[in-house]
């Protein structure tokens, strides 16, 4: 049984959360529309996933970052040997490159939370929100993720159809800490209780927990509580820097080869030649590496798609 980290959001609050910026300009470079988006593996596309399929797993997810507290959270994750999934807003990615690269190098999963946090139920802005975030990821890493959490958890059928066509796994939550409503030293106890109540079903179930790395008390209080409580309840065993139960799924836009290590199978796709080589490893022993190569198609990578997509949390 393993512990990982992911996150969540709500629309109906009067508290501080990521503000949508409808007039944010597009990232530089060409669009990502020409990249093939084949469906592989057992994790469904274009449907809402609310729970981990692997019993005994708590997946803690963080939305809306990077923020001013994200580096402090990364320090905590390094200290505790826990891997997280961060649902990233791309609008400020150019000024947060170092933080994002640290996340990636430490073995955390980076996923999409759209470009400016506009609701994806709005058909007039949906395309740009998703595609611009793909471009922002592409400009930093040479790839973009295939996991996405819709802002406010809003995604009606037209939205799901659109995301399915673009090859996305749509992630929601079954444990909402509502930390955006309780970002103060006393109020955060409510979020702690919501977490405890949410995982009270025990290790026979799997949980996707929603929190936000943009809130101070989430980082300074709630995050450590969730890690410690999960371990106390028996949700985690032998957690280390290589225990990363969320498969990393991205679409590559450069020539690349992949070498497996430890517990984190990887799926890469869609080579391109105009992005500089990337080399990355996890904290301590390393989860995976991407390095320059000459593969011309996804199939040539020789990765077991079924184990990559279906063998871990989702």
Which neighbouring-strand residues pair with 48? Answer: 170
- 136-157 residue pLDDT tens: 999 999 999 999 999 999 999 9
Please name the residues in contact with 254: beta carbons below 8 A apart, sequence gap of 6 or more. 142, 143, 271, 272, 273, 274, 275, 277, 278
- Contact, 61 vs 245, CB < 8 A? no
263 within domain boundaries: no
pLDDT of residue 15: 40
Taking the chain (314 residues) in runs of 10, the rounded mean pLDDT of each run is: 39 43 81 92 93 90 97 97 95 96 95 98 98 97 96 99 97 97 98 98 93 98 97 64 42 41 28 34 26 24 27 26
Give the three-state DSSP class for 74: helix
Reply yes or no on whether 63 is catalytic. Answer: yes
43 within domain boundaries: yes
143 within domain boundaries: yes
Residues 80, 74: Cα–Cα separation, whole Å: 10
pLDDT of residue 106: 95
pLDDT of residue 41: 84
pLDDT of residue 253: 56
pLDDT of residue 18: 65
236 within domain boundaries: yes
pLDDT of residue 201: 92
- Contact, 230 vs 222, CB < 8 A? no
254 within domain boundaries: no
pLDDT of residue 272: 36
Q: What is the pTM of this model?
A: 0.76
Q: Is the dihedral of CA 22, 25, 27, 29 positive or negative?
A: positive
**Domain span holding position 193:** 3-246
- Contact, 210 vs 181, CB < 8 A? no
Reply yes or no on whether 108 is catalytic. Answer: no
289 within domain boundaries: no
pLDDT of residue 23: 60
- Contact, 247 vs 264, CB < 8 A? yes
Query: What is the domain-level CATH number for residue 110?
Result: 3.20.20.370
269 within domain boundaries: no
- Contact, 116 vs 81, CB < 8 A? no
Catalytic-labelled residue, pool 182, 212, 215, 312: 212
Angle at CA 225, nearest 5°, toward 49 and 214? 65
Number of domains comprising the chain: 1
How far lies 115's CA from each of 127, 158, 265, 295, in Å? Answer: 10, 19, 27, 30
Q: Which H or E element spans position 58?
A: strand 58-63
């Amino acid at each position: 049984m393993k512990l990982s980290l992911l996150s969540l959001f709500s629309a109906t609050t009067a508290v501080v959360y990521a503000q949508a910026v409808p007039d944010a300009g597009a990232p530089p470079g060409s669009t990502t529309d020409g990249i093939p988006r084949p469906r592989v593996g057992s994790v469904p596309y274009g449907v809402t996933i609310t729970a981990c399929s692997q019993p005994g797993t708590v997946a803690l997810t963080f939305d809306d970052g990077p923020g001013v507290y994200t580096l402090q959270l990364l320090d905590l994750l390094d200290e505790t040997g826990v891997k997280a999934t961060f649902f990233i807003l791309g609008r400020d990615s150019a000024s947060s490159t170092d933080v994002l690269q640290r996340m990636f190098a430490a073995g955390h999963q980076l996923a999409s939370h759209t470009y400016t946090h506009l609701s994806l139920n709005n058909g007039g802005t949906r395309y740009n929100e998703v595609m611009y975030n793909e471009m922002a990821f592409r400009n930093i890493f040479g790839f973009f993720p295939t996991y996405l959490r819709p802002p406010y958890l809003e995604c009606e059928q037209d939205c799901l159809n659109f995301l399915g066509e673009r090859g996305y796994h749509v992630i929601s939550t079954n444990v909402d800490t509502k930390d955006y409503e309780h970002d103060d030293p006393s109020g955060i106890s409510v979020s702690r209780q919501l977490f405890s109540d949410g995982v009270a079903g025990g290790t026979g179930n799997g949980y996707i927990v929603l929190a936000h790395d943009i809130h101070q008390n989430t980082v300074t209080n709630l995050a450590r509580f969730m890690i410690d409580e999960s371990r106390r309840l028996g949700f985690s065993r032998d957690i280390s820097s290589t225990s990363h139960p969320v498969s990393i799924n991205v679409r590559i836009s450069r020539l690349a080869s992949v070498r497996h290590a430890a517990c984190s199978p990887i799926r890469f796709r869609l080579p391109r030649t105009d992005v500089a080589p990337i080399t990355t490893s996890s904290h301590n022993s390393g989860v995976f590496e991407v390095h320059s190569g000459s593969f011309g198609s996804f199939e040539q990578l020789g990765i077991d798609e079924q184990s990559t997509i279906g063998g871990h949390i989702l």
